[in-house]
């Protein structure tokens, strides 16, 4: 598959005269195109997940405003470029190295954070942090958490595309609750940051038998579960995605009684009960 920069350069040489009204050579791109190409260069010089995500997000923003977006050749080019930036190539990525994160478990108590726009009273008194109904249905359809994980990892095939799905997808059929072990909540800038604590938690590497047949990545995620129980019987299942924002996705509900405080960002106020 061609590199992102190669696709971009070929596209620019084809459409520049029609859309940008000038011959594109190095240093003569539109500012937005220059910024986007630099992100692609960073990705191709390192082939690591964070630079790929940055390039993919830059591509999404660039596609909305670029002058050539109305050119007939733009749509097929866009599809090919999106494919290139959607998955980290396993053969060039090399083995992922687990990065040291702040410890999430102290004396069996797991501490995490989740950002939401919903008013704190409804979260605390009514529902906690729960899966969308379509997400619950997806788990049921695949026979539970293990069955769903086998399905989705077999479909996504490697950790890069699995992480992209968990972090970037806004599909309500995704049965995951996004949280972080970072008290800044991964840079969340919305209404409320909720702190929660789960008792009697342990961690292990995700077992190979929980991965689908299409999975071709040797990396194993850390999984959090209820101490003293098997993964199948645990009422707590969380997966550390091993990304810079220290994101952990839970496939089980975080109950209201586990939420211990809420920071109201709008009013710069800590709420405890």
- Helix (H), strand (E) at residue 254: none
Distance (Å, whole) CA 112 – CA 139: 23
Q: Which residues of 75-113 are buried (b: 16+ CB within 10 A; e: fewer)?
A: eebbebbeebbebbebeebeebeeeebeebeeeeebbbb
List the single range of 46-50, 120-124, 126-130, 229-233 with lowest mean pLDDT. Answer: 120-124
Q: Tell me the average pLDDT across 38-50.
A: 83
Between 200 and 268, whose confidence is greater? Answer: 200
Residue 59 pLDDT > 60, yes or no?
A: yes
List the single range of 30-34, 105-109, 187-191 with lowest mean pLDDT. Answer: 187-191
Residue 46 pLDDT > 90, yes or no?
A: no
Burial of 232 per CB tally in 10 Å (0-12, 13-18, 19+): exposed
Q: Which of 79-93, 138-152, 178-192, 202-216 has the highest mean pLDDT?
A: 138-152
Predicted local distance difference test score (pLDDT) of residue 22: 55
Burial of 187 per CB tally in 10 Å (0-12, 13-18, 19+): exposed
List the Cα angle 209/215/220 in 5-degree steps: 65
In this predicted model, what pLDDT tens digit does every residue of 114-161 receive, in sequence order?
Answer: 988 877 666 766 678 999 999 999 999 999 999 999 999 998 888 888
Residue 269 pLDDT > 80, yes or no?
A: yes
- Helix (H), strand (E) at residue 250: strand 247-250
Give me the helices (H) in the chain, please: 4-19, 31-46, 49-65, 74-86, 90-93, 120-122, 133-141, 145-156, 159-168
Please tell me the pTM assigned to this model: 0.67
Q: Tell me the average pLDDT across 183-207.
A: 84
Residue 167 pLDDT > 60, yes or no?
A: yes
Q: Tell me the average pLDDT across 46-68.
A: 84
Predicted local distance difference test score (pLDDT) of residue 26: 46
Predicted local distance difference test score (pLDDT) of residue 158: 84
Does residue 242 contact residue 217 with C-beta atoms inside 8 Å? no
């Amino acid at each position: 598959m061609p590199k992102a920069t190669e696709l971009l350069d070929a596209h620019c040489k084809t459409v520049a005269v029609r859309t940008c009204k000038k011959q594109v050579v190095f240093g003569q791109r539109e500012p937005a195109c220059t910024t986007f190409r630099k992100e692609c260069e960073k990705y191709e010089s390192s082939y690591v997940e964070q630079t790929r995500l940055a390039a993919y997000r830059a591509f999404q923003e660039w596609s909305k405003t670029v002058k050539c977006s109305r050119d007939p050749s733009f749509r097929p080019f866009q599809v090919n470029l999106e494919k290139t930036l959607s998955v980290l190539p396993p053969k060039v990525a090399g083995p992922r190295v687990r990065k040291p994160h702040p410890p999430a478990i102290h004396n069996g108590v797991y501490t995490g954070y989740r950002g939401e726009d919903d008013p704190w009273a409804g979260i605390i008194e009514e529902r906690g942090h729960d899966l969308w109904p379509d997400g619950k249905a997806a788990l049921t359809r695949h026979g539970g958490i293990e069955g769903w994980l086998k399905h989705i990892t077999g479909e996504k095939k490697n950790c890069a595309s699995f992480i992209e799905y968990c972090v970037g997808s806004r599909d309500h059929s995704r049965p995951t609750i996004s949280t972080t072990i970072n008290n800044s909540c991964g840079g969340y800038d919305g209404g409320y940051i909720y702190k929660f604590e789960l008792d009697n938690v342990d961690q292990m590497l995700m077992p190979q038998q929980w991965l689908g047949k299409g999975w071709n990545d040797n990396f194993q995620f850390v999984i959090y579960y209820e101490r003293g129980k098997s993964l199948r019987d645990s009422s707590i299942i969380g997966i550390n995605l091993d990304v810079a924002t220290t994101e952990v996705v839970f496939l089980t509900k975080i109950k209201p009684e586990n939420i211990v405080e809420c920071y109201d960002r709008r009013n710069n106020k800590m709420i405890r009960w």
